[in-house]
Amino acid sequence: MKIGTFLNFKREEDIQIQTAVGRLLFKLTLANDAISADLSNILIRLRIFGSRGSVPVIDTRTPLSVLFEIAAQKEGFYRIEEAGANIVIRGMVEISSEGALALNADQYMSLDVDSANLIDKMELWAVGGPVASNTYIRYTPLTVQETVKDVPLSGIDSLVFRPGEIDNLKLQYTDASPEYEREELEAIACSINDLVSVNFTTGTVRAGWSEWMTLKTKDATRATISPNAGGEKFTIYSLSTAKL
């Protein structure tokens, strides 16, 4: 179901979505230059509002590049086409992994879009699913400093990170504590062989290992992360399943 078309803006707040949604489909028309077409400069936040208050889906303003890549690992690559002075990018953000999130009668989703550069045009669709669900994916950013960080993993399904920022990661399970160095993380993370984006005009393709990776953490209780020596603080993301 199409939610709307939005023209010539840098910030669009409180785009309301009241239909059942499994994924949000974005079609963006941007200036065809490296800065304007950089999806890390487009931040989105998504919350659910109702009579009992609000709950976050995407906790803070998160780069669309990260969200598109996470979805690409399940739904296939996001698509890029060049059109003269513009570039058109189509990609999805996953909202529920169990069908389409069915909101209660008194609830709606509120989407905020904040871009560093002008967005010429944004078309937005709420993509449904074969079954109604009361669960959604919650995206939470976690800041890692220059020292070792322990991350509790109760209820967290996966961690999303740039492998070049991590030297070592250890997962704690009930009966085991596997430890992975950077090369091992690149081998076992979900996106190592995934195609993330395709430019249908130039034929340029990009694989997932060049940017973000997703590591499954189901049943793990804790992660111990050792950052790259000498690196600055950085952000990773946790994905968990929440219920309305």
Is residue 148 within 8 Å of 224, Cβ to Cβ?
A: yes
Same domain? For 145 and 119 the reply is no
What is the rounded CA–CA span in Å between residue 77 and residue 208?
10
So what's the pLDDT on residue 220? 95
Q: Are residues 112 and 153 in the same domain?
A: no
Question: In the prediction, which pLDDT does 190 show?
Answer: 62
Digit-coded pLDDT (tens) for 2-54: 999 999 999 999 999 999 999 999 999 999 998 888 999 999 999 999 988 89
- pLDDT band of residue 194 (cuts 50, 70, 90) is low
Any domain includes 196: no
- In angstroms, the Cα distances linking 222 to 46, 147, 165, 230 are 27, 16, 19, 24
Q: Give the length of the chain.
A: 244
Element (H, E) at 60: strand 53-63
The whole domain housing 234 covers 138-191+211-243
CATH of the domain at 154: 2.60.120.730
- Check whether 136 has a pLDDT greater than 90: yes
Residues 42, 27 share a domain: yes
112 with 79, same domain? yes
Q: Is residue 219 part of a domain?
A: yes
Q: What residue has token string 């931040």?
A: 43
pLDDT at 193 over 60: no
Name the pLDDT band for 207 (thresholds 50, 70, 90): low
Q: Are residues 8 and 117 in the same domain?
A: yes
If one counts the domains in the chain, the total is 2
- 42-77 as b/e, with b when 16 or more CB fall inside 10 Å? bbbbbbbbeeeeeeebbeeebbbbbbbbbbbbebeb
Domain annotation covers residue 10: yes
Residue that the structure tokens 């303003």 belong to = 61
- Do β-strands 132-133 and 100-101 pair in parallel, antiparallel, or remain unpaired? parallel
> Residue 208's pLDDT is what?
58
